[in-house]
Amino acid sequence: MKQTLSVADTVMSLSHPLNRAWRSVERLFRRPARLQIAALCYRFRNGVLEVLLVSSKSSGRWILPKGWPILHRKAHRTAGIEAFEEAGVVGKVSKKPYARFRSTKGFNHDFRVRTDVLVFLLRAEAQKDDFPEAGQRTALWLPIDEAIGRCSEEGLAAVLRLLKHDMAARQTA
């Protein structure tokens, strides 16, 4: 005897697009209030400070690797995970937050949510070719001034200016 699924069973199946969309929205409200964790990846190449920017999946804006907090993970570990998943970057992540800025997270171009982004410094040691979001984003290492110029979000640009100032102060100390 052939088993048939009701419409409700079909919609509730884990693979159905409506169920996947609902789970995304549900996760948004289960996490700490609209907080995202970002990795500000940096390195020195020939004495020049470079930072990593990645393209967002939805709009192509230049952003930091970031994501929602991961349950039972410390925030700095989440930052390291995001850097690897979105750009293949591994390195030493500071345990304390470096900065915080306001941003917006877009869902399907129609729904936008304001977020607080908690930023952790990650001194890059390597960049792998094989990582979870390879082919979905573009990752660029840029001199700090060029990275500041590519930012469309003032909050992110301000964090990059702060990093430039702090690194210059360290080099002269």
Which token pair is 80? Answer: 């390291």
Architecture of domain 33-172: Alpha-Beta Complex (3.90)
Of the two residues 157 and 113, the one the predictor is more confident about is 157
Which token pair is 19? Answer: 């169920």
pLDDT cut 90: percent of the chain above it: 66
Q: Domain coordinates of the chain in residue numbers? A: 1-30, 33-172
- Alpha carbon distance 150, 54 (integer Å): 11
pLDDT surpassing 90 at residue 165: yes
What pTM value is reported for the model?
Answer: 0.78
